[in-house]
Amino acid sequence: MKRSPSTLGFVHRFISGKDRRLTLVLLHGTGGNEEDLIPLGSVLAPDASLLSPRGKVVENGLPRFFHRLAEGLFDVEDLKFRSRELADFVNDASATYGFEPKSVALVGYSNGANIAAGMILGEFLVPAAAMLFRPMVPFTPDNPPNLNGLRVFISSGNFDQMVPRGESERLARLLRDAGAKVTHNREDSSHGLTNEEARKASRWLLDSLTE
Ligand code: MLT
């Protein structure tokens, strides 16, 4: 069913791109909003369409995508519920804006990377590709998902003060075990993104699309 943009359930921005084969779904970090990752999206794929929702959970005035019990300690039930809800939003938005669900690449930073990983591991939405910047393991699925054909770029920071070092390795292993093709990039940086890794992710995306 084609719904009007205001009834899709998330405050969001949609920017229609020239390249109809690719829609980046941009998922911001804690304290961000739907504007935050638009510049990153334009670097990653200048001609792609961009869909950028704002997380609905507010923690001390800061928007995010799911509840947590403490820093790094997730409310997994809420995370799963909101992963499904966000996947439904992307599907509904595809009808509203006229893009193919299979053209979707998820792009998440920090909290946004964690809900992107939640959507994937719960198989609520299995995109064509995912770029996860500073992710953690959202939860360990009860049954291994089938992620054959999915390409994932993980980018973690060697000096990240928020994400423990083993987390991104663990996520990469979970995704690989489920059949995804994972590229794990490590930057000599902290939790913040660098221009260099955005360029690396952009090259990776271009290669993935032409492979
Ligand atoms: C999370 O809660 O998702 C992580 O701790 C990262 C963040 O704070 O955004």
| The 3-state secondary structure of 114-172, one letter per residue | HHHHHHHHCCCCCCCEEEEECCCCCCCCCCCCCCCCCEEEEEEECCCCCCCHHHHHHHH
* Probe residue for ligand 1, chosen from 54, 68, 191 as the CB with the greatest number of ligand atoms within 8 Å: 68
- CA-nearest residue, atom 7 of ligand 1: 111
Q: How confident is the model at residue 115 (pLDDT cuts 50, 70, 90)?
A: very high
CATH number for 145:
3.40.50.1820
Query: Which residue range forms the structural domain that includes residue 112?
Result: 2-210
Residue 100 has pLDDT above 90, yes or no: yes
- State the average pLDDT over residues 18-35: 96
Instruction: Work out the percent of the chain whose per-residue pLDDT is above 90.
Output: 94
- State the average pLDDT over residues 141-163: 96
Locate the ligand 1 atom nearest the alpha carbon of residue 31 and give its number.
9
Domain count along the chain = 1
Query: pLDDT (tens digit, 9 = 90+) per residue, 84-94?
Result: 999 999 999 99
Residue 186 has pLDDT above 90, yes or no: yes
For residue 211, what pLDDT is reported?
75
Task: Give the Å distance between the CA of 111 and the centre of ligand 1.
Answer: 4
Single-letter amino acid, residue 74? F
Query: pLDDT (tens digit, 9 = 90+) per residue, 122-134?
Result: 999 999 999 999 9
- Give the pTM: 0.97
**Which of the 8 DSSP states describes residue 35?**
T
For residue 149, what pLDDT is reported?
93
Rounded distance between C-alpha atoms, residue 75 and residue 200, angstroms: 32
Rounded distance between C-alpha atoms, residue 149 and residue 133, angstroms: 20
For residue 20, what pLDDT is reported?
87
Q: How confident is the model at residue 165 (pLDDT cuts 50, 70, 90)?
A: confident
Residues lining ligand 1, CB < 6 A? 29-30, 68, 71-72, 110-111, 114, 162
- State the average pLDDT over residues 9-31: 96
- Token duo for residue 205: 């995306």
Query: pLDDT (tens digit, 9 = 90+) per residue, 27-43?
Result: 999 999 999 999 999 99
Rounded distance between C-alpha atoms, residue 33 and residue 42, angstroms: 16
Single-letter amino acid, residue 198? A
Locate the ligand 1 atom nearest the alpha carbon of residue 134 and give its number.
6
Comparing 102 with 120, which gets the higher pLDDT? 120
Q: How confident is the model at residue 210 (pLDDT cuts 50, 70, 90)?
A: confident
Q: Please check whether residue 152 is in contact with residue 168, taking contact to mean a CB–CB distance below 8 angstroms.
A: no
